[in-house]
């Protein structure tokens, strides 16, 4: 009975995502039309006259009324066509598909890094309030948010590449000496492993480490803070007192009873942090010459490349919906109370 | 003050001159001064006192569970010859749960909300090596069976939120007793539970304690519970033991004024309002003022509730809002099916009642009986599914609850809510809380007019005007209750609905507030609907009582008659479950001197 209602809940949640996708399509379309700058002018070049601009506008379909443009846009979308980039002439979909895995790989590794550091830090800080570890947690989180990523990125490059020579040159996803592995997932590390090419794997990891740490240091703060706060609240609750009064070992009390409950708000934070990271790591991508989706978006924006911007916003929004969906489903799995109240 | 047991060999736990202090922002606060008590094997002692008396702190200190700010500064805690103060944390962990167990108030939050109850019992068994992974499940189910949970195999898999409060408390007991401790500390184990559930849980505890020859410390604010179950009682006030002795003699020969005050304030079947007040109160033992208004039978009723129904869709049912009306008609046709999951559940099921001007009506029943839903509909906070509420001949249900704040009848029907803390805006001073309805509904404008009115109201409820500038967290429970009452009477209501107004208060404060309510009624000529689960309290304030069960009225009549001669078996079970607190008169408090009412 309980299981059936759970799966029904997940199904209903999936259905709820559909209208938000439709809404996103409408809003991204309108937003990109509202962008300042005329793509036709940009595309025609500085020497163009009124006539050629009008011609280009007509060929792009920009002279039609808004609703007609929208119908064309949706029709193209249904065929998987996000339009062509004005500046590179490549289909937007292809470009996004080739750049998205780079950003995803970086973001996921950064997230794993920051969870690995922030969760234990938050738990330890909460179990020993005002101890040195709590102070450390405070310093790390404050530093993490207050140091801009381009600074930490450059600093890490300076120390580990320039001074110590431990890290490879911050030049993209893979040293030119290596060939990218056959694309399966688009993640170089996983593809290299799938191809059985350990050398490429290590090379890819080497390139990933510094940008991932840079990004991870920034996202550490919200996760550590949330963990600490949620842990303090969980450890102060009455069932922890019952567990202690029953003589349960400290590990069990802190981890199973405390963290088990504290992890619920942390999971929600993770979803937000992940979506945020994905779109906003432009600076890190720039510093490490990372061919990700963030730098792509900035270039498109500067060039008034509306098809590319539209494609980017749409991709991010859909990712956002997917991540939130995943978080909600995970939440439903770990919290038995979800479903009864909802 | 020392209270030595006659036979020291039997003392299982011996607490001597215990001193506990807490570090707070305002400096060090001493929570326990020289507290001494002891418990013999198989004995059940009660520690009674009101909030702030330190009765819980003492037991936390015994188990080494004081929070960080607290420290034991002096005295000895000896358990079975072992010095618990000198014990290391690892030794204490072995003792907790296996030698000394503790159960807490509010069972719903005492269990890990996201862990199956069976697993929580297993955790304890495995922590104390009382079971292995192989037989833990079997042992856990046996424990659930021991605390009389039906279908223990099925219940093993449930989560706390799927169980009632009473069930949760049984699980907590199973958890505490899983490793067969010698001593159980029960901290307000039945506070917040219905009387019948309270009786069932206490009876279970006593049976198990007797069967295992387990010593029990029962910490409670309820003298009735303590006197019904304990051999010996320790009375605490402000961190000190003020009196201790055998249950029989302590209550009849109470020497300390605090004990006497507590005994007086605890309502019993025969008490009158004024008898509850402390002997120091000038009104004590006088006759409570009678209503000035005649309840003449031929006058039209102030309030007439006719065939009121409130239904809610049941989880898993088919009823959407559009189906509500049709399904209600369906349910009406087949009475009794509502609870069985016909898609709708009638929280209030065809209730009709009359209330005359100046009358005070008690609405009694256990949690979930629909008394709060009914009173919220009458107060026009929620809408009924069908039926009418007529007030002075006007149908109040004609105005939807969402618009009722603008109705001309809003000032006439006001409410005092259950929890004095929760029902006050934490960012409003007492003045602002009381002034709010005056400004919003009565339209009183101008600082002076408002100030004068608020002063007048606070004087009426006995709230010193110096306290008007304070925020709720700076007021005591009794003072907050006064603010809530002042706010409710600010608009000169003709009907005041009191939803368990004293259930969160200490007994001595409850005594004062109940008397205040009686005085206000006599002075202002209001009618009351008094919602409560406690029949002894209802009787003090009400002329007539209605007993509800599963949304229906099962019995109604004069308060005294119902309490003395209930005709419905359900009412009788409610009354029988009330712990019988009847210290012999003629002792410290001269109850016999009270004039007959």
In this prediction the ipTM stands at: 0.77
Q: Which residues of B touch A243 (CB under 8 A)?
A: 112, 123
Gap between the terminal Cα atoms of chain A: 16
List residues in chain B touching A: CB distance below 8 A: 63, 65, 68, 93-98, 101-104, 106, 109-115, 123-124, 127-128, 159, 161-162, 172, 175-176, 179, 315-316
In a domain, B336, yes or no: yes
The mean pLDDT of B33-42, rounded to a whole number, is: 91
Query: What's the mean per-residue pLDDT of chain A?
Result: 84
Question: Residue B435: is its pLDDT beyond 90?
Answer: yes
CB atoms closer than 10 angstroms to residue B407:
18
Residue with tokens 């209750």: B481
In a domain, B1, yes or no: no
Question: In percent, how much of chain B has pLDDT > 90?
Answer: 38
- What whole-number distance in Å separates Cα of residue B308 and Cα of residue B377? 9
Q: Mutate which of B66, B100, B115, B179 to test chain A, going by most A C-beta atoms within 10 A?
A: B115
Q: Worst-scoring range by mean pLDDT, A82-96, A135-149, B271-285?
A: B271-285
- What whole-number distance in Å separates Cα of residue A166 and Cα of residue A155? 14
CB atoms closer than 10 angstroms to residue A161:
15
- What whole-number distance in Å separates Cα of residue B353 and Cα of residue B370? 14
Q: Which residues of B touch A237 (CB under 8 A)?
A: 109
The mean pLDDT of B511-530, rounded to a whole number, is: 89
Return the pLDDT at B322: 33
pLDDT tens, residue by residue, A309-336: 888 888 888 888 888 888 888 888 888 8
pLDDT tens, residue by residue, B60-73: 899 988 888 888 99
Q: Which residues of A touch B184 (CB under 8 A)?
A: none
Return the pLDDT at B583: 64
Residue with tokens 């079997």: B138
**What's the longest Cα–Cα distance across chain B?**
76
- Which domain does B435 fall in, by range? 303-579
Sign of the dihedral defined by the CA atoms of residues A212, A213, A214, A220, in that order = positive
- What whole-number distance in Å separates Cα of residue B77 and Cα of residue B298? 68
Q: What's the token pair of residue B193?
A: 């539970």
Higher model confidence: residue B22 or residue B582?
B22
The mean pLDDT of B431-450, rounded to a whole number, is: 90
Residues in chain B: 597
* Residue of chain A with shortest Cα separation from B66: A241
Q: What's the token pair of residue A276?
A: 């945020």
From the number of C-beta atoms within 10 Å of its C-beta (0-12, 13-18, 19+), residue B279 rates as: middle
Question: Residue A119: is its pLDDT beyond 90?
Answer: yes
| Total number of domains constituting chain B | 1
- Indicate yes or no: CB of B172 within 8 angstroms of CB of A242: yes
Smallest CA–CA separation between A10 and chain B, in Å?
Answer: 16
Q: What's the token pair of residue B577?
A: 């479950």
Which candidate from A5, A246, A250 shows the least CB-CB separation from B97?
A246
Q: Which residues of B touch A256 (CB under 8 A)?
A: 115, 123
Smallest CA–CA separation between B112 and chain A, in Å?
Answer: 5
Which candidate from B94, B98, B127 shows the least CB-CB separation from A252?
B127
Smallest CA–CA separation between B316 and chain A, in Å?
Answer: 9
The mean pLDDT of A288-297, rounded to a whole number, is: 87
Q: Which residues of B touch A248 (CB under 8 A)?
A: 93, 97, 123-124, 127
Q: Worst-scoring range by mean pLDDT, A16-30, A37-51, A138-152, B259-273?
A: A37-51
Q: How far does Cα A124 stand from its chain's mean position?
A: 27
- Indicate yes or no: CB of A248 within 8 angstroms of CB of B97: yes
Sign of the dihedral defined by the CA atoms of residues A321, A326, A331, A337, in that order = positive
- What whole-number distance in Å separates Cα of residue B109 and Cα of residue A233? 13
The answer for residues whose C-beta is within 8 angstroms of residue B507's C-beta and 6 or more apart is: B50, B221, B222, B223, B262, B265, B266, B267
* Residue of chain B with shortest Cα separation from A238: B110
Return the pLDDT at B261: 87
The mean pLDDT of B559-579, rounded to a whole number, is: 88
pLDDT tens, residue by residue, B130-144: 888 889 999 999 999
Return the pLDDT at A224: 92
pLDDT tens, residue by residue, A195-235: 888 888 888 888 888 999 988 988 888 899 999 999 999 99
- What whole-number distance in Å separates Cα of residue B286 and Cα of residue B291? 15
Using DSSP's 3-state secondary structure scheme, residue B554 falls into strand
In a domain, B342, yes or no: yes
- What whole-number distance in Å separates Cα of residue B430 and Cα of residue B421? 12
- Indicate yes or no: CB of A129 within 8 angstroms of CB of B172: no
Note the CATH architecture for domain A92-302: Orthogonal Bundle (1.10)
Q: Which residues of A touch B127 (CB under 8 A)?
A: 246-249, 252
Which candidate from B94, B110, B316 shows the least CB-CB separation from A238?
B110
In a domain, B116, yes or no: no
In a domain, B350, yes or no: yes
Higher model confidence: residue A67 or residue B331?
A67
CATH number at residue B379: 3.40.50.300
Q: Which residues of A touch B114 (CB under 8 A)?
A: 260-261, 264, 334-337
**What's the longest Cα–Cα distance across chain A?**
85
Smallest CA–CA separation between A164 and chain B, in Å?
Answer: 46
* Residue of chain A with shortest Cα separation from B162: A337
* Closest C-alpha among B20, B3, B44, B66 to residue B186: B44
Query: What's the mean per-residue pLDDT of chain B?
Result: 84
Which candidate from A247, A261, A337 shows the least CB-CB separation from B98?
A247
List residues in chain A touching B: CB distance below 8 A: 5, 129, 237-239, 241-250, 252, 256-257, 260-261, 264, 334-337, 340
Return the pLDDT at B291: 52
Return the pLDDT at B68: 80
Q: Mutate which of B108, B121, B127, B189 to test chain A, going by most A C-beta atoms within 10 A?
A: B127
Helix B430-437 vs helix B447-460: crossing angle, to nearest 10:
100
pLDDT tens, residue by residue, A12-32: 777 887 888 888 888 888 877
The mean pLDDT of A77-85, rounded to a whole number, is: 81
- Indicate yes or no: CB of B112 within 8 angstroms of CB of A129: no
**B315 pLDDT tier (thresholds 50, 70, 90):** low
Q: Mutate which of A234, A236, A245, A267 to test chain B, going by most B C-beta atoms within 10 A?
A: A245
The answer for residues whose C-beta is within 8 angstroms of residue B189's C-beta and 6 or more apart is: B103, B104, B105, B107, B169, B173, B201, B202, B205, B218
pLDDT tens, residue by residue, A226-253: 999 999 999 988 899 999 999 999 899 9
- Indicate yes or no: CB of B127 within 8 angstroms of CB of A337: no
Rounded to the nearest 5 degrees, what angle is found at the Cα of B262, between the Cα atoms of B241 and B58? 30
The mean pLDDT of B521-530, rounded to a whole number, is: 89
Return the pLDDT at B19: 92
Q: Which residues of A touch B316 (CB under 8 A)?
A: 5
The mean pLDDT of B105-114, rounded to a whole number, is: 88
Higher model confidence: residue B292 or residue B405?
B405
Return the pLDDT at B174: 92
- Indicate yes or no: CB of A241 within 8 angstroms of CB of B104: yes
Which candidate from A5, A239, A247 shows the least CB-CB separation from B111?
A239
Alpha helices in A183-305 (DSSP H): 188-194, 198-235, 238-245, 250-251, 260-280, 282-287, 293-302
- Indicate yes or no: CB of A261 within 8 angstroms of CB of B161: no
- Indicate yes or no: CB of A239 within 8 angstroms of CB of B123: no
Q: What's the token pair of residue B108?
A: 């719903």
Question: Residue B294: is its pLDDT beyond 70?
Answer: no
Question: Residue A124: is its pLDDT beyond 60?
Answer: yes
- What whole-number distance in Å separates Cα of residue B507 and Cα of residue B514? 10
**B367 pLDDT tier (thresholds 50, 70, 90):** confident
Residue B573 CA: distances (Å) to CA of A107, B141, B294, B328, B564: 64, 30, 34, 31, 13
Residue B226 CA: distances (Å) to CA of A177, B104, B497, B525: 83, 16, 31, 38
Element (H, E) at B83: strand B82-83
Q: Which residues of B touch A247 (CB under 8 A)?
A: 93-98, 124, 127-128, 179
Which candidate from A241, A252, A334 shows the least CB-CB separation from B123?
A252
Which candidate from A5, A247, A337 shows the least CB-CB separation from B127?
A247
In a domain, B144, yes or no: no
Question: Residue B1: is its pLDDT beyond 60?
Answer: no
The mean pLDDT of B307-326, rounded to a whole number, is: 57
The answer for residues whose C-beta is within 8 angstroms of residue A188's C-beta and 6 or more apart is: A105, A173, A174, A180, A181, A200, A204
* Residue of chain B with shortest Cα separation from A339: B315
Element (H, E) at A341: none
Q: Sheet containing B495-499: give its strands across.
A: B413-416, B495-499, B527-532, B360-364, B544-549, B552-558
Question: Residue A1: is its pLDDT beyond 60?
Answer: no
Return the pLDDT at B328: 36
From the number of C-beta atoms within 10 Å of its C-beta (0-12, 13-18, 19+), residue B74 rates as: middle
Return the pLDDT at B120: 93
Return the pLDDT at A152: 86
Q: Which residues of B touch A252 (CB under 8 A)?
A: 123, 127
Phi-psi region of B352 (alpha: psi -120 to 50; beta: other; left: phi over 0): beta
Question: In percent, how much of chain A has pLDDT > 70?
Answer: 95
Give the highest mean pLDDT range of A2-16, B8-22, B215-229, B302-316: B215-229
- Indicate yes or no: CB of B124 within 8 angstroms of CB of A260: no
Higher model confidence: residue A305 or residue B247?
B247
* Residue of chain B with shortest Cα separation from A249: B127
Domain boundaries, chain A: 2-78, 92-302
In a domain, B309, yes or no: yes
Using DSSP's 3-state secondary structure scheme, residue A95 falls into helix
- Indicate yes or no: CB of A247 within 8 angstroms of CB of B128: yes
- Indicate yes or no: CB of B127 within 8 angstroms of CB of A242: no
Return the pLDDT at B332: 36
Return the pLDDT at B9: 56
* Residue of chain B with shortest Cα separation from A332: B114
- What whole-number distance in Å separates Cα of residue B505 and Cα of residue B266? 12
- Indicate yes or no: CB of A256 within 8 angstroms of CB of B65: no
Q: What's the token pair of residue A306?
A: 């509306």
**B451 pLDDT tier (thresholds 50, 70, 90):** very high
pLDDT tens, residue by residue, B488-498: 999 999 999 99
- What whole-number distance in Å separates Cα of residue B271 and Cα of residue B597? 10
């Amino acid at each position: 009975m309980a299981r059936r209602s759970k799966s029904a809940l997940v199904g209903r949640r999936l259905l709820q995502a559909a209208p938000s996708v439709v809404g996103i399509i409408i809003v991204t379309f309108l937003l990109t039309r509202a962008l300042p700058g005329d793509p036709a002018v940009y595309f025609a070049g500085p020497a163009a006259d009124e006539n050629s601009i009008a011609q280009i506008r007509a060929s792009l379909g920009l002279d039609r009324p808004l609703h007609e443009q929208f119908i064309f846009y949706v029709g193209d979308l249904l065929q998987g066509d996000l339009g062509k980039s004005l500046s590179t002439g490549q289909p937007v979909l292809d470009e996004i598909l080739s750049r998205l895995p780079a950003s995803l790989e970086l973001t996921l590794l950064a997230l794993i890094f920051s969870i690995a550091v922030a969760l234990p830090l938050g738990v330890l800080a909460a179990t020993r309030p005002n101890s040195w570890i709590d102070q450390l947690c405070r310093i790390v989180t404050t530093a993490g948010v207050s140091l801009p990523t381009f600074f930490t990125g450059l600093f890490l490059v300076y120390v580990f590449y320039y001074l110590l020579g431990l890290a490879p040159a911050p030049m993209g996803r893979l040293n030119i000496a290596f060939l990218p592995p056959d694309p399966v997932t688009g993640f170089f590390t996983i593809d290299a492993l799938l191809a059985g090419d350990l050398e490429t794997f290590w090379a890819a990891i080497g390139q990933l480490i510094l940008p991932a740490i840079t990004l991870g240091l920034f996202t550490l703060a919200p996760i550590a803070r949330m963990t600490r706060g949620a842990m303090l609240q969980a450890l102060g609750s009455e069932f922890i007192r019952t567990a202690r009064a029953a003589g349960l070992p400290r590990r069990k009390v802190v981890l199973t009873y405390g963290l088990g409950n504290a992890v619920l708000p942390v999971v929600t934070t993770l979803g937000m942090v992940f979506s945020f990271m994905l779109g906003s790591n432009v600076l890190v991508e720039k510093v490490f010459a990372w061919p990700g989706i963030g730098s792509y978006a900035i270039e498109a924006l500067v060039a008034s490349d509306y098809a590319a911007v539209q494609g980017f916003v749409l991709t991010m929004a859909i990712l956002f919906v997917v991540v939130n969906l995943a978080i909600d489903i995970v939440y439903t799995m770990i919290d038995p109370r979800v479903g009864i109240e909802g | 003050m020392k209270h030595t047991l006659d036979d020291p060999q039997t003392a299982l736990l011996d607490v001597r001159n215990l001193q506990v202090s807490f570090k707070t922002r305002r400096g060090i606060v001493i929570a326990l001064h020289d507290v001494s008590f002891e418990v013999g094997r198989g004995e059940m002692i009660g520690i009674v006192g009101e909030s702030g008396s330190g009765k819980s702190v003492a037991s936390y200190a015994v188990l080494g569970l004081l929070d960080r700010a607290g420290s034991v500064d002096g005295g000895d805690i000896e358990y079975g010859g072992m010095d618990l103060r000198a014990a290391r944390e690892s030794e204490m962990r072995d003792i907790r749960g296996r030698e000394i167990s503790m159960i807490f108030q509010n069972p719903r939050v005492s269990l890990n909300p996201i862990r199956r109850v069976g697993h929580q019992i297993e955790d304890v068994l495995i922590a104390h090596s009382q079971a292995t992974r192989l037989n833990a499940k079997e042992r856990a189910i046996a424990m659930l069976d021991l605390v009389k949970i039906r279908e223990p195999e099925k219940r093993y898999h449930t989560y706390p939120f799927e169980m009632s409060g009473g069930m949760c408390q049984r699980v907590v007991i199973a958890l505490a007793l899983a490793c067969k401790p010698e001593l159980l500390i029960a901290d307000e184990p039945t506070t917040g539970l219905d009387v019948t559930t309270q009786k069932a849980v206490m009876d279970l505890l006593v049976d198990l304690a007797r069967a295992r020859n387990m010593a029990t410390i029962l910490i409670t604010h309820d003298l009735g519970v303590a006197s019904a179950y304990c051999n010996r009682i320790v009375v605490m006030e402000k961190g000190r033991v003020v009196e201790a002795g055998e249950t029989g003699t302590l209550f009849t020969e109470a020497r300390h004024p605090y004990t006497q005050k507590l005994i007086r304030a605890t309502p019993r079947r025969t008490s009158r309002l004024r008898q509850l007040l402390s002997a120091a109160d000038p009104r004590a033992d006088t006759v409570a003022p009678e209503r000035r208004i005649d309840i003449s039978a031929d006058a039209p009723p102030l309030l007439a509730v006719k065939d009121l129904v409130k239904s809610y869709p049941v989880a898993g049912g088919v009823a959407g809002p559009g189906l509500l009306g049709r399904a209600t008609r369906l349910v009406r046709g087949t009475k009794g099916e509502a609870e069985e999951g016909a898609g709708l559940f009638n929280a209030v099921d065809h209730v009709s009642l009359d209330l005359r001007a100046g009358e005070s009506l008690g609405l009694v029943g256990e949690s979930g009986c629909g008394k709060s839903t009914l009173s919220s509909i009458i107060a026009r906070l929620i809408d009924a599914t069908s039926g009418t509420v007529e007030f002075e001949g006007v149908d109040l249900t004609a105005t939807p609850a969402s618009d009722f704040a603008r109705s001309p009848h809003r000032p006439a029907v006001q409410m005092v809510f259950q929890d004095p803390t929760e029902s006050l805006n934490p960012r409003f001073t007492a003045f602002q809380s009381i002034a709010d309805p005056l400004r919003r509904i009565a339209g009183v404008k101008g600082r002076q007019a408002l100030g004068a009115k608020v002063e007048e109201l606070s004087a009426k409820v006995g709230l010193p005007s110096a306290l008007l500038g304070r925020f709720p967290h700076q007021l005591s429970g009794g003072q907050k209750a006064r603010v809530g009452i002042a706010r409710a009477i600010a608009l000169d209501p003709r009907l005041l609905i009191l939803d368990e107004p004293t259930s969160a208060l200490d007994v001595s404060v409850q005594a004062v507030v109940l008397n205040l309510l009686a005085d206000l009624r006599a002075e202002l000529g209001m009618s009351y609907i008094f919602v409560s689960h406690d029949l002894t309290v209802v009787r003090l304030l009400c002329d007539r009582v209605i007993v509800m069960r599963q949304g229906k009225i099962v019995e109604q009549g004069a308060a005294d008659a119902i309490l003395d001669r209930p005709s419905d078996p359900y009412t009788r079970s409610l009354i029988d479950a009330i712990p019988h607190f009847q210290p012999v008169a003629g002792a410290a408090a001269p109850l016999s001197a009270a004039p007959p009412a």
